Structure 1
Amino acid sequence: MERWDRAGRWGAYGAAVALTPYALIKVSWVVGSLLGLVPIGEGFDLAGWVVLNTVTIGMAAIGIALALALVRPWGMRLPGRPVMFCGWVGSGFLVSVLPYAVLTALVDSGGGDRGGDRGDGGPGMPGWEAFLVQFGFVGMGLGLAVALPAYLRRRRPDAFTGRVSVRVPWAAGLAAVVGAVWLYWAFGGTLGIAHPARRTTDGAVLTGLGALWALAGAAALLLLSRPPQPRPARRLPLALCWLGSGSLFAWSGWKLPFTLFVALAQPAGATLPEDPSVALVLHGTAVVAGIGMLRALAGPRPARS
C-alpha cells in the first residue's frame, strides 16, 4: 500500500505540474487578445475567442485541483462521488488518446495542414508552445492513470477490487456494438456515412482508438464477471474497463450535444461525415454503456448502519 501511495503522490503532483503551462498559455491568449497583442483564432470574433479560452482555463483549473485533491489531505474530505466522476471523465478523455498524441508527436504534427492551427481554432503558434500544450495533456493523462487508483484504494478499499455485478453483459454488449461500428468506420466502411468526402486521416485514427478502447473495456468487463480470480490477475482488466468506460462516456458525452447542434442548426462548414441520426444513436448508446460499466465496476454499495 505504501508503494501505491508513493506512486500516486508522484502521479498527482506530476499531473498538476504538467497542466499548469497549458493554463498559463491560455491566460496569455486571453490577455493578449484583449490587449491586441495576440491574433484571435480563425472563425472567431473577440468575444467568442475570449469565452472559449476562458472556459478552457476553467477546465484546466479544475484538472489541476482534481490532481491535488487526489494527494492532499483535504481531498479525502471532499464528497467521494464528484471526485471519482471527475477523475473518471478526465481519464477517459486524456488517457484514451495518449497513443494518438504519441503518434502525432512522432510524425511531427507541426507540419502539413496542422501547422497553422492552434488546435483551438487559432492561428499558428511557436513549436515550444505547441509542445507545452501537448505535454500538458499527456502528463495529466498519465498522472491521473497513476494517482486515481491510489486515491480510490484509500477512499474506498471495498470498491474497485474486481468484484462486479453478474448483471453486466448488457453494458459490455452495448460497448462491443459501438466499438465494432467505430472500427468499421475507421477502416473505411461507408454504411452510416453520409458525407465520405468529409473524412480525414486524423478522424479515422481517433475513431479507431475509440473503438479499441470500447472493445477492450467490454472484453475486460466480461472477464471480471467470471468466477473469482486472484487479484493480481484482475488488475489489468480493471484498468482497461475503467479507461474504456470513461472513454465511452467522456468522448460521446460531448460529441452527443455537438452532433445534435450540427444536425439542427446546420452551421456552415461543420458537416459531419456520419449520418446525424446514426451518430446520435451511437453516442447515446456509448454514454449508457459507459455508465453501466462504471456501476458494475463500483461493485456492491457498502451497507448503511
Structure 2
Amino acid sequence: MVGSLVGVLPIGDGFGLAEWVVLNTVTVGMAVGRVGDGPRSVPPWAAVVGAVVGLVWLYWAAGGTLGIAHPARRNTDWYVLAAVWGFWALSGSAGIWTVARARPAGLPRWLPLTFGWVGTGSLFAWSAWKLPLMLYVAPADPADVTPPENLTVAVVLHLCAVVAGAAMMRIPVRSRIHAAESHALREVATRSEG
C-alpha cells in the first residue's frame, strides 16, 4: 500500500489515487473492525475510519503536504482548524472504541462517552457541510475559491468522515439505551424482591 501511495508501485487501471485510498481504507477498516461483529468483540470499523481521517488532518496540521494541492493557500487559521478536526476525530474514535470494547473497566463510562459524542458529532457535522462545498467547487472551479487540499482527496476524506461519524453515533446511542434498560430491569428486580 505504501509503495502505491508514494508512486513506486502502480495503482492499477481504472483506479486513481483517491479511489485506491478509499478502497484500501475500507478494506483495512473491515479487516480490523470485521463488520457485523458485536460491539464488544472488536473495534468498530467506523472508529478505525474516523481515526484514519483524524490522522490525515493532524498530518496536515503538522505541515504535511501529501494530499495538498495548493500549500501556499494554507494559513494559521487553516492549520489550527486542521489540528482541531484531527483532535476531535481521534478523540471521538478512541472514545467510541473504548465504549464498544467496554475497557478499561476502572474508567468512568461518562468520560469515553463524552469524547465519543463530541467526536462523532464533530466528524459528521464539520464534514457534512464541507462535503457539499467541495462537491460544488470541484466541477464549478470558481476563480475566487481555491482550497489548499486536492479536491478529490478532500471529497473522499469528508465523505469518509460523514459516514464514520454517523456510523459511530450508534455506539453511544446503543450504550445509553442499554444503560436505561439495565436500570429499568434492576428496578423491577428490586421491587419484586421487596
1:280 equivalent in structure 2: 155
Matches within 5 A, 1:1-305: 165-166=39-40, 168-227=43-102, 233-299=108-174
CA contact (8 A) 2:39 2:101 kept: no
Q: TM-score, normalised by structure 2?
A: 0.67
Change (3 A) 1:232 1:180: closer
Please report the RMSD computed on the Cα atoms of aligned residues, expressed in angstroms.
2.2
CA contact (8 A) 1:186 1:207 kept: yes
Quote the Cα distance in structure 1 between the aligned partners of 2:172 and 2:87: 19
Q: Is there any run of 5+ residues in structure 1 with no aligned partner, and where?
A: 1-163
Quote the Cα distance in structure 2 between the aligned partners of 1:208 and 1:195: 18
Change (3 A) 1:193 1:232: closer
Q: Deviations over 1:254-279 (max 9, x none)?
A: 00000111111111210110000000
1:64 equivalent in structure 2: none
CA contact (8 A) 2:124 2:163 kept: yes
CA contact (8 A) 1:168 1:292 kept: no
Change (3 A) 1:230 1:189: closer
Q: TM-score, normalised by structure 1?
A: 0.43
SS of the residue corresponding to residue 233 of structure 1 reads: coil
State the 1:184 CA deviation: 0.4
Identity %: 53
Quote the Cα distance in structure 2 between the aligned partners of 1:196 and 1:256: 20
Q: Which amino acid aligns with 1:225?
A: A
Q: Is there any run of 5+ residues in structure 2 with no aligned partner, and where?
A: 1-37, 182-194
Quote the Cα distance in structure 2 between the aligned partners of 1:197 and 1:245: 30
Q: Which amino acid aligns with 1:263?
A: A
Q: Deviations over 1:128-172 (max 9, x none)?
A: xxxxxxxxxxxxxxxxxxxxxxxxxxxxxxxxxxxx933652011
CA contact (8 A) 2:98 2:104 kept: no
State the 1:228 CA deviation: 6.5
Q: Deviations over 1:199-234 (max 9, x none)?
A: 111011001100000001111111112246669711
State the 1:288 CA deviation: 0.7
SS of the residue corresponding to residue 169 of structure 2 reads: helix
Q: Which amino acid aligns with 1:217?
A: G
CA contact (8 A) 1:192 1:278 kept: yes
Quote the Cα distance in structure 1 between the aligned partners of 2:116 and 2:169: 8
Quote the Cα distance in structure 2 between the aligned partners of 1:228 and 1:213: 20
